[in-house]
A and B are shown apart, each in its own frame.
Chain A
Amino acid sequence: MSEIQEVAAPRRRINFGFDKYSGIYVWALLVLVFALWIPDLFLQTSTLKQVLTFQAISAIVALGLLLPVAAGAFDLTIAGTLTVSVCFTAWALTNGHGIVVAAGGSILIGVIIGLANSLVVVKLKVDSFIGTLGMSSVLIAIAYMITDSSQIVLSTAGYAPFFEFARTEVFGLPLSVYYAALIALFFWWILEYTPGGRYLYAVGGNPVASRLAGVRVGRVTMVAFISSGVTSAFAGIVYLATIGTATPDSGSGYLLPAFSAVFLGATQIRPGRVNVLGTLVAIFLLATGVTGLQLAGAPSYVTQLFNGAALIIAVALASRTARRQG
């Protein structure tokens, strides 16, 4: 970096925010395209409601992933944790336990999974990608054990109070959407406005330097894993209260979209670091695209195609940003 470049005043160009808000532009473009293409199907309040409702669970899972990724750790157990939580809650409810026991037990399981992940990653020093990949397989096995390899169906009539937990509508939107919003608000506060957020980003940026600046790197990583465990477990409860059926592969569709959203989100709002608002933009960008294509008659596999491509593009964009800044 040359002296001249630094001393010069920061160049002010006319900035349309393409670097920080490109996701919002793309989102608007998608809305416009579908509005012109399939106006009678797409431009309905039901479409908005459908997108919000369908994405509430994905959003909760993706938000839970933010803290570990901010701290530089992958947590591949999020989908497995969701599955175990779904299966445990269904098992507990169908075996005569109350909602509080079922839900409380699920959250406790989330804490335990977070602790187990941090034991593997922090104490046993297994790379987080490998460690949580292994753990996620263990969790799927546990889900099979709980459900006895079949599915548990909660009848709508028999478990009405439980379903109300997610399905009750306020201002036309189910409670699950409000949960996602509250969780987003909570993590936004944590990451942007608390010392904990600084520590998470610092550990993700340079763990050695963080440790030498007094940050308890192991403890920060542990808190991040526990938060993602608890959040995924909570997502599991919301999932069961929304869908009503528990199977050992309930969570299988949630891992990749969460990573797509978090990494695509890292190119938005605050480029270069994972953040809550960027993640939300990414979730609704992906959901709008997928929903629009499905309404236009695209086959259902378009979801996987869209999410996979988005993840790759997001990471490619992020490394391009990093190169330009370096």
Chain B
Amino acid sequence: MTSATPATSALSVRNATKVFGAQVALDNVTIEVAAGEVRALVGQNGCGKSTLIKILAGFHEPEPGIEVLVGGSELALGDPVASEAAGLRFVHQDLGLVGNLDTVDNMALGQGYITNATKTISWRKERSKAREALAALGYEINVNMPVAALQMSERTAVAIARAMSERGTPPKMLILDEPTANLPGPEAQRLYQLVRRVADSGVAVLFVSHHFDEVFEMAESVTVLRDGKLIDTLPVAGLTEEALIELVVGRKLEEHDKGEAVDREHGTEVLQLSGVGGRNVSGMDLTVHQGEVVGVAGITGSGREEVAALVFGGHERSGEILVEGKTLPQNRPDISIQRGVALVPAERHANASLLDQTLRENITLVDPGRHMSLGILRRNPEKSDVRVWLDRLSVKPSGQTEYKMNQLSGGNQQKVILARWLRQEPSVLVLDEPTQGVDVGAKADIHTLVDEAAAQGAAVLLCSTDHEELVRVCDRVVIMRRGRAAEILRGDKITVDNITAATIGRDSAEPAA
């Protein structure tokens, strides 16, 4: 516990427990935050962080026996209005801003506009109020510009300014969810200062984070949760990254293998990235060899989610990508396909499926002309071709080439998308979250198929947030941090714990090639 005395306590939670069905999400957790203190709340997915926040926000009703004091007075639980009235203010990761409205309108959302006697909005007063609120946070922005046109950190500032505005009661505590997750370095710095200002005004700040950068830069103290239990609350000063990771993961980790000179590369070089950059990613170098499976790991905002699209040519990019020595032009998926690159994108409904078309049409979309003769697509050879692939990937129900895509389960849909690309016998197979929303059986099948594709000589690049998956199929794992390929794990260093630790690690390490 920190040395916060009850007199200056902004928030005091005692014995918070929450059970969902048979699962204890939060187990008797006690946490205290002093006024003006900046506290980080860390832990792995499912450790109970969000549950605790949702109890404070009034979305979850906790088990009896809990006591929550805000600024010394008891908080009525299970009521979002009461939480707000008590002075608790929340900014969620998605910020909750309306992109095409300007700052003035966004600040007025949920609290109403200032009107004069005739119920006309007083834009002048609204504008100056918005400007003042932002100035108090150290930001000076054009309040009449749509927020979508603002920089990310400015948008966060708008959301925080809105949360901090007086609504009946002054704010006592600001609760942030992953505040700098999507921010590049310099913008994150700006936000650290903003949080500092908020705390200096006497408001306590509690932020949930997977980003150890922001923990060490912003927080004075950190509370660690694991499996719903409070592990410890301790000051950040004097804390090492290794010690914190150990608290989060629950056991001591082996030293990372950073920048080892020898690579377990095999086969010839097939895919080469040099100095590749995009919206989040910058200066990424990577080589994938024939028959090799290289994983890409990283938390949200690290650039991991962009790598697949950059390689395939779905995004604007800088730098150069070579496939078997030939340059891939950007923004031309069709040429990438001709050069032997295949992409199984994330979010198959949006990015890969033709939901109301047949499995046959979905699979042959990449080269529908394969069974054309005398100017006519021959449907029967096409069907038998497709049937072979449906069988090979054991798509259920079997052999139904004319089923519509939306008649299949998620796992089977994903196999159909995989069939589309394996049928092309690609030399480079890029997979982005290939087992997202896929059941266990289909997941194992998909992993086997990736192994087979590699065994047949494909260079495989697998971007995933599923660390077990990376351990299961990868020869090497590239760790993305703040848009850079920060580290590479090889061989027996590829473990779930090592990957987790590396993705949330700090950027002190030299970028690995």
In the complex formed, the residue of B with least CB distance to A209 is B352
Contact: B408 with A6, CB < 8 Å? yes
Contact: A3 with B365, CB < 8 Å? no
Contact: B372 with A326, CB < 8 Å? no
Residues of A within 8 A of B376 (CB): 189, 193-194
With A1-B408, A7-B397, A201-B361 given, is the CB distance from A213 to B352 under 8 Å?
Answer: yes
Contact: B368 with A198, CB < 8 Å? yes
* Binary B-proximity of A298-326 (CB < 8 A = 1, otherwise 0): 00000000000000000000000010011
* Binary A-proximity of B403-415 (CB < 8 A = 1, otherwise 0): 0101111001000
Contact: A202 with B409, CB < 8 Å? no
Contact: A205 with B333, CB < 8 Å? no
A202–B396 Cα distance when bound, in Å, is 23
With A7-B397, A206-B354 given, is the CB distance from A1 to B409 under 8 Å?
Answer: yes
A247–B375 Cα distance when bound, in Å, is 41
B454 at interface, CB cutoff 8 A: no
Selected from B351, B397, B404, the residue in CB contact (under 8 A) with A209 is B351
A14 at interface, CB cutoff 8 A: no
B369 at interface, CB cutoff 8 A: yes
A124 at interface, CB cutoff 8 A: no
Contact: B355 with A206, CB < 8 Å? yes
B128 at interface, CB cutoff 8 A: no
* Binary B-proximity of A1-30 (CB < 8 A = 1, otherwise 0): 101001101100000000000000000000
A49 at interface, CB cutoff 8 A: no
Most B C-beta atoms less than 10 A away, residue of A193, A211, A212, A322: A212
Contact: B356 with A212, CB < 8 Å? no
With A6-B396, A195-B368, A215-B334 given, is the CB distance from A209 to B356 under 8 Å?
Answer: no
In the complex formed, the residue of B with least CB distance to A326 is B406
Contact: A198 with B420, CB < 8 Å? no
B109 at interface, CB cutoff 8 A: no
Contact: B368 with A214, CB < 8 Å? no
Contact: A202 with B361, CB < 8 Å? yes
Residues of A within 8 A of B372 (CB): 194-195
In the assembled complex, how far is the CB of residue A193 from the closest CB belonging to chain B, in whole angstroms? 5
A216 at interface, CB cutoff 8 A: yes
* Binary B-proximity of A42-66 (CB < 8 A = 1, otherwise 0): 0000000000000000000000000
Residues of B within 8 A of A214 (CB): 333-334, 336-338, 366
A60–B376 Cα distance when bound, in Å, is 23
B345 at interface, CB cutoff 8 A: yes
A104–B253 Cα distance when bound, in Å, is 78
Contact: B406 with A1, CB < 8 Å? yes
A210 at interface, CB cutoff 8 A: yes
In the complex formed, the residue of A with least CB distance to B348 is A209
A213–B336 Cα distance when bound, in Å, is 10
A123–B372 Cα distance when bound, in Å, is 32
A208 at interface, CB cutoff 8 A: yes
Contact: A209 with B333, CB < 8 Å? no
In the assembled complex, how far is the CB of residue B380 from the closest CB belonging to chain A, in whole angstroms? 13
Instruction: Give the dominant DSSP class at A's interface.
Output: helix
B353 at interface, CB cutoff 8 A: yes
A216–B313 Cα distance when bound, in Å, is 13
With A6-B407, A193-B376, A214-B333 given, is the CB distance from A209 to B354 under 8 Å?
Answer: yes
Contact: B334 with A212, CB < 8 Å? no
Contact: A195 with B369, CB < 8 Å? yes
Contact: B406 with A198, CB < 8 Å? no
Residues of B within 8 A of A210 (CB): 354, 365
Chain A interface size, under 10 / 10 to 19 / 20 to 34 / 35 or more: 20 to 34
In the complex formed, the residue of A with least CB distance to B420 is A213
B509 at interface, CB cutoff 8 A: no
* Binary B-proximity of A153-190 (CB < 8 A = 1, otherwise 0): 00000000000000000000000000000000000010
With A195-B368, A212-B312, A216-B334 given, is the CB distance from A202 to B377 under 8 Å?
Answer: no
In the assembled complex, how far is the CB of residue B497 from the closest CB belonging to chain A, in whole angstroms? 34
In the assembled complex, how far is the CB of residue A69 from the closest CB belonging to chain B, in whole angstroms? 15
With A205-B356, A326-B406 given, is the CB distance from A212 to B369 under 8 Å?
Answer: no
* Binary B-proximity of A247-260 (CB < 8 A = 1, otherwise 0): 00000000000000
A326–B351 Cα distance when bound, in Å, is 18
Contact: B404 with A325, CB < 8 Å? yes
A199 at interface, CB cutoff 8 A: yes
B146 at interface, CB cutoff 8 A: no
Selected from B337, B377, B397, B420, the residue in CB contact (under 8 A) with A193 is B377
- Among A266-316, those with CB < 8 Å from B are 272-273
Contact: B361 with A198, CB < 8 Å? yes
In the assembled complex, how far is the CB of residue A66 from the closest CB belonging to chain B, in whole angstroms? 17
A109–B367 Cα distance when bound, in Å, is 33
A210–B361 Cα distance when bound, in Å, is 11
B80 at interface, CB cutoff 8 A: no
A209–B362 Cα distance when bound, in Å, is 10
Selected from A205, A211, A216, the residue in CB contact (under 8 A) with B354 is A205
- Among B242-291, those with CB < 8 Å from A are none
Contact: A194 with B365, CB < 8 Å? no
Contact: B409 with A209, CB < 8 Å? no
A199–B350 Cα distance when bound, in Å, is 17
B364 at interface, CB cutoff 8 A: yes
B343 at interface, CB cutoff 8 A: yes
With A198-B361, A202-B365, A205-B357 given, is the CB distance from A212 to B352 under 8 Å?
Answer: yes
Residues of A within 8 A of B364 (CB): 198
Contact: B354 with A194, CB < 8 Å? no
Residues of A within 8 A of B351 (CB): 208-209, 212
A82–B483 Cα distance when bound, in Å, is 54
In the complex formed, the residue of A with least CB distance to B335 is A214
Residues of B within 8 A of A9 (CB): 397
A216–B332 Cα distance when bound, in Å, is 9
Residues of A within 8 A of B343 (CB): 212
Contact: B333 with A212, CB < 8 Å? yes
* Binary B-proximity of A196-226 (CB < 8 A = 1, otherwise 0): 0011011001101111111110000000000
In the assembled complex, how far is the CB of residue B382 from the closest CB belonging to chain A, in whole angstroms? 10
Residues of A within 8 A of B365 (CB): 198, 202, 210, 213, 215
Contact: B356 with A211, CB < 8 Å? no
Contact: B333 with A211, CB < 8 Å? yes
* Binary A-proximity of B306-346 (CB < 8 A = 1, otherwise 0): 00000010100000000000000000011011100001010
Residues of B within 8 A of A211 (CB): 314, 333
- Among B145-192, those with CB < 8 Å from A are none
Selected from A7, A10, A195, A212, the residue in CB contact (under 8 A) with B396 is A7
Selected from B314, B350, B356, B397, the residue in CB contact (under 8 A) with A322 is B356
Selected from A6, A192, A199, A201, the residue in CB contact (under 8 A) with B357 is A201
In the assembled complex, how far is the CB of residue A218 from the closest CB belonging to chain B, in whole angstroms? 11
Residues of A within 8 A of B357 (CB): 201-202, 205
Q: Which residues of A contact B (CB under 8 A)?
A: 1, 3, 6-7, 9-10, 189, 192-195, 198-199, 201-202, 205-206, 208-216, 272-273, 322, 325-326
- Residue pairs across A and B with Cβ atoms less than 8 A apart, 30 shown, are A1-B406, A1-B407, A1-B409, A7-B397, A9-B397, A192-B377, A193-B375, A194-B376, A195-B377, A198-B365, A198-B377, A202-B365, A205-B355, A205-B357, A206-B350, A208-B350, A209-B350, A209-B352, A211-B333, A213-B365, A213-B366, A213-B420, A214-B336, A214-B338, A214-B366, A216-B334, A272-B356, A322-B356, A325-B404, A326-B406
A206-B355, A209-B351 given; 16 more Cβ-contact pairs under 8 Å: A9-B397, A193-B377, A194-B375, A198-B361, A199-B368, A205-B354, A212-B352, A213-B333, A213-B366, A214-B333, A214-B336, A214-B338, A214-B366, A215-B365, A272-B356, A322-B356
